[in-house]
Amino acid sequence: MTQPAAASPPSAQVPPAELPASVRDAGLANWIREPLDDAVDRRRRIIVPPAVATMGTALSGCQGTLMAQARGPGAVVMMGDNPALPPMPERPTLKDFFALRLSKTGTNHMLQSAKLAREHGLGEKVITACLLHDIAIAGLISANHGYWGAQLLAPYVDPEVAWAIEKHEALRYFPDESVGYTYPQSYIDFFGPDYRPPGYLRREAEAARQHRWYMTSRLITVNDIYSFDPNTVVDFGEFEDVLGRNFRQPAEGLGFDGSPVAHMWRTMIWPNNFL
């Protein structure tokens, strides 16, 4: 029996030789995608990276070059579904974002952290905070990720959980001998031995120490730094019961419930939209 032909990979990179020198010389070939074989309009899609992703790099200012390509025949800027990404359900859940959008490195780290917190016998608020503490790194942006993550989650979790996620941004830089938390060796490796956190983080950490929810946030850091084993895989299903009690999933789907942060979830659904 004849087997059906395998489908071609979607949204393949355009061969550099087919692009103008202005695009090749600027190192922008990866942002221009071939159309799907079954696309009706047969136009190339131009992904224009956001300014924050290129500031301070050789690609700063690349938007003009890429937009010039989109104005030509046979090309448009990327809007809507990027066929290189798996499609999201009409009413996406947190589980869908873990499976279809967040980075595997990020989700595995957070799941390991939550598993460690559970093994330590900690409460569900701490487990939930550990499970979600780096969601911004995994799906949006690394800089100021505690603040981004707290905002992203605030409508759906207990205020204590959102606060803890925000404040772990600062607390992770400062030891607390009472719980055995020391400055991570990995930070010395990443940032260098002479790195000192900026003043605003020091002030944030000092204020957080005086807060009634301090230990909830501190326990994120305790269960965070030891949860980077790439060979350990934790299944999301292990925490669906905890999330069922501690995460308010909107019936309309994340990104479509009209919350003040719905746009942040939509950004992860369609991360390559020009506007």
**Domain spans in the chain, listed from the N-terminal domain onward:** 16-77, 94-269
Q: Scan for tokens 């269960």, then name that residue.
A: 223
Q: Please, what is the Cα angle at 221 between 216 and 223, to 5 degrees?
A: 90
According to CATH, the topology of domain 94-269 is Hypothetical protein af1432 (1.10.3210)
pLDDT at 21: 58
Closest alpha carbon to 244 in 126, 157, 155, 116:
157
Q: What pLDDT was estimated at residue 10?
A: 44
Burial 125-144, CB ≥16 within 10 A → b, else e: bbbbbbbbbbbbbbbbeeee
> In angstroms, what CA-CA distances link 59 with 13, 21, 28, 142, 153?
18, 15, 8, 19, 32
Single-letter residue type at 173 = Y
Q: d(Cα 238, Cα 265) in Å, to the nearest integer? A: 23
* Cβ contacts of 153 within 8 Å, gap of 6 or more: 132, 135, 161, 162, 165
Whole-angstrom distance, CA of residue 113 vs CA of residue 102: 16
Q: Are 122 and 219 in contact (CB under 8 A)?
A: yes
Q: Quick one: tokens of 139?
A: 């799906």
Q: What is the DSSP letter of 238?
A: G
pLDDT per residue as tens, the chain (275 positions): 444 444 444 445 556 555 555 555 555 555 555 554 444 466 778 888 888 888 887 778 778 878 887 887 888 888 999 888 999 999 999 999 999 999 999 999 999 999 999 999 999 999 999 999 999 999 999 999 999 999 999 999 999 999 999 999 999 999 999 999 999 999 999 999 999 999 999 999 999 999 999 999 999 999 997 667 778 889 999 999 999 999 999 999 999 999 999 999 999 999 999 99
The whole-model pTM stands at 0.85
CA dist 100 and 84 (Å) reads 11
pLDDT at position 48, please?
Answer: 85
- Beta-bridged to residue 176, according to DSSP, are 181
Measured torsion, CA atoms of residues 252, 96, 101, 42, in degrees rounded to the nearest 10: -70
Report d(CA 159, CA 154) in Å as an integer: 7
Question: What's 31's DSSP letter?
Answer: G
